[in-house]
Amino acid sequence: MAAPAYYHPTPLSSSRACSRSPHSPTFSSELIAASLASFPLNLQLRKRLEIRNRNTLRTLCVRDTKAPVVTKDSWEKSVLNSKTPVLVEFYASWCGPCRMVHRVIDEIAVEYAGRLKCFVLNTDDDPQIAEDYEIKGVPVVFLFKNGEKRETVIGTMPKEFYVAAIERVLKL
């Protein structure tokens, strides 16, 4: 099967591609150019995107979350002193599986609004809280009730795992 007419991949510089770091500006701009050339974008949109830098493109991909961020400054008030059960997702911005868990937590935040508070905590920004709870990897979801940790879900799991843990905490 032939490639579509709009498909014109821009090759990376083959002589230096392997020796270059994926985080170098040159590598990133070549990678962006290659991916932009592969999609059937409106020409004006393509030119605008080519002008933007790597950080701007990353910012465009951030989505609004239903679960607010909790930090070490708001931890005690939001989690430990809450009268309502609390779900906290510990994540890292570089973690791919954490993004999948974010979607599930957003759904849960909407479905359990009023009965459960949902928060997310970036372990890179607040490592002390992660150390206090002995978190060795992300994603990890903790459920708190009356300031005490009651349930833990480690790793990326189907939504049913989170819902089952929530229901157990709500029945306590």
| Both tokens assigned to 5 | 């007419």
CB 90 within 8 A of CB 123: yes
Catalytic residue ranges: 95, 98
**Residue 142 forms beta bridges with which residues?**
88, 152
Among residues 159, 121, 125, the alpha carbon closest in space to that of 142 is found at 121
Cα 172 to Cα 165: distance, rounded to the nearest angstrom: 11
